[in-house]
Amino acid sequence: MSMAGKVAIVAGGGRDIGRACALELASRGANVVISYHSSSTTAKSAVAEMEAMGVKAVAVQADLTTQEGVDACVKTAIDSFGKIDTLVHVSGGLVERIKIADMSLAHWHKVMDLNLTSLFMMSQACIPHMGKGSSIVTLASQAGRDGGGGGAVAYATSKGAIMTFTRGLAKELGPHIRVNGVCPGMISTGFHDTFTNDTIRANVAGATALKREGQSEEVAKLVAFLASDESSYMTGNNVDINGGLLFS
């Protein structure tokens, strides 16, 4: 799955799954721009690791819920490499577990902006710079299929919307640009370190067919496949990677 000479933006590439995606794409020969919000140390170390692979890499601090942040990220890619072949949009989060009875409108909008609106803005900004054969990979979630855990209705709703956005955008951009999504289940990341207690994590891992949590690097390999020409007849798909916890 060579991506030699390709240029990829990994939105939210500073840590966990996003960082693993950036490194995986670089290992296949892509030059990479990663955006990060607050993970400057891990973002900069990722750049050093990618450059050691013999590719070019740039990290840009940006708030992708703002037009200014989106424009800065895309401008960095064009100024550095002159084109965009792949957008991998990992940026997002749960923010806080809040049940709907206690949820403020501000929280609802914050989660939607973080996960969904940022994807819309990044896609809209990148598409004019993407040529025939380019690809977009979105990051949804198993929560988009099953509604998520307690206090995650806003997050799950935003991820379900990402799945629909993926399908609709694939129709709109075909045949020149492919759009596919990835729906991770329980992946061992800082997300679950923060929002999921150890008992629930153990129970979920035990309920999978593979009896374990997934790793960011495993998600990254799937993302790289969908970004590459190896998946040239796939578009509009939302692909599950959850160890056999849920089948669709």
Q: pLDDT tens for residues 178-237?
A: 999 999 999 988 777 787 788 988 999 999 999 999 999 999 999 999 999 999 999 999
What is the C-alpha to C-alpha distance for residues 163 and 40, in angstroms, rounded to an integer? 29
CA-based Rg of the chain, rounded to a whole angstrom?
17
pLDDT(170) > 80:
yes
- Predicted pLDDT of residue 191: 73
Percent of the chain with pLDDT strictly greater than 90: 91
Give the fold, CATH level 3, of 7-240: Rossmann fold (3.40.50)
Three-point CA angle 144, 146, 152, nearest 5°: 70
- Predicted pLDDT of residue 11: 98
* Least confident residue range of 117-126, 129-138, 239-248: 239-248
pLDDT(175) > 80:
yes
What is the C-alpha to C-alpha distance for residues 95 and 154, in angstroms, rounded to an integer? 10
**For the residues 16-20, what does the mean pLDDT come to?**
97
The two three-digit tokens of residue 207, written as one number:
């309920």
- Predicted pLDDT of residue 168: 98
**For the residues 113-117, what does the mean pLDDT come to?**
98
Q: Look-up: residue for tokens 């809209």?
A: 124
pTM reported for the whole predicted model: 0.95
Quick one: how far is CA 126 from the chain centroid?
A: 15
- Predicted pLDDT of residue 190: 75
Region class of 16: left (phi > 0), else alpha (psi between -120 and 50), else beta: left
Under 8 Å between Cβ of 149 and 196: yes
Nearest CA to 114 out of 26, 38, 60 is that of: 38
To the nearest whole number, what is the mean pLDDT of the chain?
96
- CB-based contacts of 75: which residues, under 8 Å, 6+ apart? none
pLDDT(1) > 70:
no
Q: Which of 36, 81, 155, 165 is catalytic?
A: 155
Work out the pLDDT band at 247, boundaries 50, 70, 90.
confident
**For the residues 80-84, what does the mean pLDDT come to?**
98
In the annotation, is 36 catalytic? no
What is the C-alpha to C-alpha distance for residues 229 and 1, in angstroms, rounded to an integer? 7
DSSP symbols for the chain: ---TT-EEEEET-SSHHHHHHHHHHHHTT-EEEEEESS-HHHHHHHHHHHHHTTS-EEEEE--TTSHHHHHHHHHHHHHHHS--SEEEE----------GGG--HHHHHHHHIIIIIHHHHHHHHHGGG--TTEEEEEE--THHHH--STT-HHHHHHHHHHHHHHHHHHHHHTTTEEEEEEEE-SB-SHHHHHHS-HHHHHHHHHHSTT-S-B-HHHHHHHHHHHHSGGGTT--S-EEEESTTS---
**For the residues 103-112, what does the mean pLDDT come to?**
98
Structure confidence by residue, pLDDT tens digits, 36-79: 998 899 999 999 999 999 999 999 999 999 999 999 999 999 99
